[in-house]
Chains A and B, each alone.
Chain A
Amino acid sequence: MSEPLPARSRGVIALLEENCTSCMLCARECPDWCIYIDSHKEEVVVPGARTRQRHVLDRFAIDFSLCMYCGICIEVCPFDALYWSPEFAYAGYDIRELLQERDDLRQWMPTVPVPPAHDPSGEPSKEQSAAARRAR
Chain B
Amino acid sequence: MTPEAVGQALVTALVAAATAEDPTPPGPPVAGVSGGGRFARATVDVPAGAWVAALRTARDAVGCDFFDWLSAVDELDQGYQVVAHVWSSRGRYGVLVRTRIPRAAPALDSVVAVYPGAAWSERETHEMFGVDFPGHPGLAPLLLPAQFEGHPLRKDFVLASRVVKAWPGATEPGESAAEAGRRAPQRPPGVPAPGDWTPPDWRPGG
Contacts and interface: CB of A to CB of B under 8 A. Distances in A.
Contact of A30 (B169, B174, B175, B176): B169
B176 A35 contact: no
B168 A40 contact: no
B69 interface: no
Q: Which of A29, A36, A38, A53 has the most CB of B within 10 A?
A: A38
B187 to A, nearest CB: 12
Category for how many chain B residues contact A:
10 to 19
A31 B169 CA distance: 11
A96 to B, nearest CB: 15
A39 B173 CA distance: 7
Contact of A55 (B165, B169, B173, B178): B173
Contacts, number: 45
Interface string A7-29: 00000000000000111100111
A21 B173 contact: yes
A37 B171 contact: yes
Contacts of A39: 173-176
Interface residues of A, number: 22
A28 B183 CA distance: 10
A43 B2 CA distance: 67
Contacts of A37: 168, 171
A23 B173 contact: yes
A28 B174 contact: no
Contacts of B173: 21-24, 39, 55
B158 to A, nearest CB: 16
A24 B172 contact: yes
B168 A35 contact: yes
Contacts of A22: 173-174
Contact of B169 (A21, A27, A58): A27
Interface of A: 21-24, 27-31, 33-41, 53, 55, 58-59
7 contacts: A24-B172, A30-B168, A34-B168, A38-B178, A39-B176, A40-B174, A55-B174
